[in-house]
Amino acid sequence: MALQDKYKELTDAATASGVTNLQVREQDGVLYIDGDAPGGAAKDRLWDIYNKIDPDFRAGDLVMNINVTGLIEGTKLKVVTQSSNLNIRKGPGTDQPIVGKAAHNEIVTLVSKSSDQWWLVRTDAGEEGYSYAQYLTPA
């Protein structure tokens, strides 16, 4: 089964949800879906569909880079990990040391979007560092 067929429900939902700048491409056995969602709810729906197609995200054949437009400094974000804590790192990258953690469903504050993948956040306890944006959505 081609990856675009496997994830057709997901790409159709992205279009129906109003995702702009939608780009779908396949490279080296991985399907890449990029775009800008009009809000956190639209992005959450896409992650729910992805989880239905590939429970626990184990296939490793999809990279979904859907950004929520309109996020500004000071926006409250919810940690949307499956169940574990979200690592907060000294710098943007998994090679950076962990300086804190945010619990599943915890609310953190956006300090800045250093890239599409890594956002600088602050917890209510004052811990500040970079977290992977895939696990954050507007609260």
pLDDT tens digits, 68-97 = 776 778 889 999 988 889 999 999 989 999
Average of per-residue pLDDT values in the chain = 89
Determine the pLDDT at residue 84. 87
The mean pLDDT value for 37-46 works out to 81
Identify the helix (H) or strand (E) that includes residue 132.
Answer: strand 128-132
Q: Which residues in 5-125 belong to E strands, given as ranges?
A: 20-27, 30-37, 62-68, 76-79, 86-89, 98-102, 107-113, 118-122
Query: Are 90 and 61 a contacting pair, CB within 8 Å?
Result: no
- In angstroms, the CA 9 to CA 25 distance is 15
Which one is the CATH code of 76-138: 1.10.287.610, 3.65.10.10, 2.30.30.40, 2.160.20.70?
Answer: 2.30.30.40
Residues facing 75 on adjacent strands: none
Residue 1 has pLDDT above 70, yes or no: no
3-68 and 76-138 in the same fold: no
Phi, psi for 14 (deg, rounded to 5): -60, -45
- On the question of pLDDT at 10 being above 80, the answer is yes
Rounded average pLDDT over 38-63: 85
Segment 58-63 mean pLDDT: 88
Q: Give domain limits for the chain.
A: 3-68, 76-138
Assigned CATH for 3-68: 3.30.70
| Confidence label for 57 from pLDDT (cuts 50, 70 and 90) | confident
Coil, helix or strand at residue 5: helix
Q: Quick check: 65 pLDDT over 90?
A: no
Distances (CA, A) of 67 to 13, 39, 64, 77, 99: 15, 9, 9, 13, 25
Choice between 47 and 79, residue whose per-residue pLDDT is larger:
79
pLDDT tens sequence across 92-127: 989 999 999 999 999 999 998 877 788 999 999 889
